[in-house]
Chain A
Amino acid sequence: MNLLATSINHKTASVELREALYLNSDEIKEYFKNTKGSLFSEGLIISTCNRTEIYGIPLNKSTGPIEIQTALLKLKSVSGLKDDNFQYFLSANAVRHLFSVAAGIDSLLIGDNQIFKQVKDSFQMAEENNFAGFLMKRIFDAAIKAGKRAISETRISEGAVTVSYAAVQLIEKIFSSLNRKSALIIGAGESGELAAKHLSERGIRNLTITNRTLQRAEKLAKSLNARVIPFSEFKESLHEFDVILSATSSDNLIITKEDILLSVKKRGYNPCVLMDIAIPRDIDPEVRNIDYVFYNDIDSLNIIVQQNLLRRKEEIPKVEKILDEELFTFMNWYNTLEAAPAIKDLRDYFEFIRAEEVDKNKNRFSTEDQEKLEIVTKRIINKILHHPTVELKKFAESGMNGDEAAIKISIIRELFGMNKTISDVTSNK
């Protein structure tokens, strides 16, 4: 198999270089246009914030990483690139790499299943632009199958690996169902927005947002169908919320122990969860000593994140095993693509010789014996070809080493002159 893959990713390049080589959908289409028919017969491009990867079946055997890189740099003029910034994969290794990407074990956040969707979208784009053909479709299907198996058969994607999601996971360890709870998000910055989205996705009944800049809170609230309260008034409503998540950039504490004591009293001592994901902290950590209050700051949430990441890392060998199985299945299928025509050609070649010789000599036999001659010669040919046919099938089914199978098949073709057409064979006689 001659699949080529080039990757620049979080393991090989800084975020600046990755950003510089990020291809948007228009640039990907441009790359398709530039290389389809000149460099590749078909291919696929995955471009995310953590990686830009180009997969392709080259038209010429001489096509290599330099050509792929040159085509990429035609679109993006980036300085400071070194050879080390790129990874190159060939044949089965390229397929294996795509499987690793789809399964999330090559991601910055191990087990991140966002990449699974990104691989799907990338293929869809390649297909819509006629860049993905028969072989890429099969490779993509195999990658998706491998990714799905990794997610469903292992725990590679389990547990929160971001602070904001860890906060939600912890809230769900206290309250059984968020659809009867109300939450207040203080701060509509990146962390607050992410936490608000997670809570909304988990079905929180009432979501309220407050922010120093009201417009920003309103914008976020609109996208999440949430309520907004002015920042100057939120303290008066603290008792209304089962969950309070604070993520402002304030230099000082914005919620004191006294505020929470008052709120708990107003709530009739109903349990309340306080998540402080701001640096520096927004909520007085002393509130953790109040009996009906669960308080966590970014350090404690990071413990959950690190534990989950460790657990995901421990799942990598299981995922690798699944990917190897899927690669073996895929390579089996691919090798049969080469073996099946070789078997057919070999049989056609022998049948041609048999039929020709029988035709030449059949007049030497009586009419009754001519029929027997047909049967006997066919039987001889079948017996001669039985072992080579079995061996060819074995090459094909030997799995991983597709190159070795291809060499053996080409030797057989060479030995019997099967690279020539049957008319070539006859004209040489």
Chain B
Amino acid sequence: MKIVIDISNFIIPVLYIISFGFYFYDFIKAEKKFINLKRFSFCLTLLYHLIYLLLRTFEFDHPPITNVYEIFTILAFCISFSYFILELVTDIRGTGPFIIIISIIFQIISSALISDVYQVKEVLRNHLLGIHVFSALAGYSAITISAVYGFLYLILFNDIKLNKFGLVFNRLPSLEILERLSYISAIIGFSLLSVAIIIGVIWLPKAFPHFSYLDPKLIGTSLVWLLYGFGISSKFFGRWQGKKVILFSIIGFVIAISSTIVTNFIARSFHSFY
């Protein structure tokens, strides 16, 4: 099984790049014949990636959350999977390349630097921790997607304002749709982060003797959660709309990323498992 995992480490980024190629070509050319081919290729990639994650879980006897590069491959999967579901539900296919490229970056870093860890702390084999980490990662994936749609909104917004009717204008869906996709992604992200925070608050004090509510990661995530909660409620109650909501989503994403970098790579706390 180990050899399959090693080969898959190489194959997965290649599969993502192939899918990206199909999506990108379709974005440029909008050839009807590629509509199903790109979706099939992407579906196959996700399926293969899921099998890879399961293989790692069984082979190393723990979910792949024990080091940052395992986290990266899960992030790559979650981002692409969330987008795929969104594409299936909304049938809006023109934004794929902008999302898949993020998965490719995470997956290439992961494939290049991932190590095989057989011996881990006992706490990392706990199922509740698995759910806590998966929901947090899926939440961050959703807010990443929300931010990507936000960027696309701003690009299209500026193109329309400046009378630039190029490829972006022709291929992207309407501003209202991009705003809605960004908003829905933010809601999903907020909900998943809520699950992660609830599990964390209930379970972490029991599992970690050095638990502290002043933990930087806990504070960072809570801050991001509060920020998104405020933004979502403002949109929901009609106080904010359009560009204002989008800018808020992007600012939220930048804060989320900064907080993750600071809490994972700079600050030390009980919350680091590797």
Contacts and interface: CB of A to CB of B under 8 A. Distances in A.
Interface of A: 170, 172-177, 268-271, 288, 291-292, 294, 296, 300, 303-304, 307
B165 A175 contact: no
A269 B244 CA distance: 10
A303 B174 contact: no
Nearest to A292: B242
B174 A176 contact: yes
Contacts of A307: 165
A270 B163 contact: no
A300 B164 CA distance: 9
Contact of B180 (A170, A172, A176, A292): A176
B98 interface: no
Nearest to A291: B243
Contacts of B209: none
Contact of A173 (B160, B242, B243): B160
Given A173-B160, A270-B241, A288-B161, 16 more contacts: A173-B169, A173-B174, A173-B175, A174-B175, A175-B174, A176-B174, A176-B180, A177-B176, A268-B238, A271-B241, A292-B242, A292-B243, A296-B163, A300-B163, A303-B163, A303-B165
A269 B174 CA distance: 19
A288 to B, nearest CB: 7
Given A176-B180, A304-B165, A271 B242 contact: yes
Given A173-B175, A176-B174, A268-B238, A294 B161 contact: yes
Given A291-B243, A296-B163, A172 B174 contact: yes
Contacts of A271: 175, 241-242
A309 B187 CA distance: 41
A291 B242 CA distance: 10
Given A303-B165, A307-B165, A174 B243 contact: no
Nearest to B179: A176
Contacts of B156: 173
Nearest to B177: A176
A176 B165 contact: no
Interface of A is mostly: mixed
B173 interface: yes
Interface string B158-174: 00110101000100011
A174 B241 contact: no
7 tightest A-B CB contacts, nearest first: A176-B176, A300-B163, A176-B177, A176-B174, A174-B175, A175-B176, A304-B165
Interface string B174-195: 1111001000000000000000
Interface of B is mostly: helix
Interface residues of B, number: 16
B160 to A, nearest CB: 6
B14 to A, nearest CB: 32
A176 B241 contact: no
B173 A294 contact: no
A192 B239 CA distance: 34
A45 B156 CA distance: 47
A291 B243 CA distance: 9
B238 A170 contact: no
Nearest to A304: B165
A174 B241 CA distance: 13
Nearest to A268: B238
6 contacts: A170-B160, A174-B176, A175-B175, A176-B174, A271-B175, A291-B243
Contacts of B174: 172-176
B136 to A, nearest CB: 32
Contacts of A296: 163
Contacts of B160: 170, 173-174, 294
A329 B212 CA distance: 80
B46 to A, nearest CB: 27
B1 to A, nearest CB: 48
B111 to A, nearest CB: 38
Contacts of A304: 165
Contacts of B180: 176
Contacts of B238: 268
A177 B175 CA distance: 11
A244 to B, nearest CB: 16
Nearest to A297: B163
A177 B90 CA distance: 14
B56 to A, nearest CB: 41
Interface in B4-61: none
Nearest to A288: B161
A288 B157 CA distance: 12
A307 B177 CA distance: 24
Contacts of A170: 160
Interface string B137-164: 0000000000000000000100011010
A176 B173 contact: yes
Contact of B241 (A173, A269, A288, A294): A269
Nearest to B32: A153
A152 to B, nearest CB: 10
A177 B180 CA distance: 12
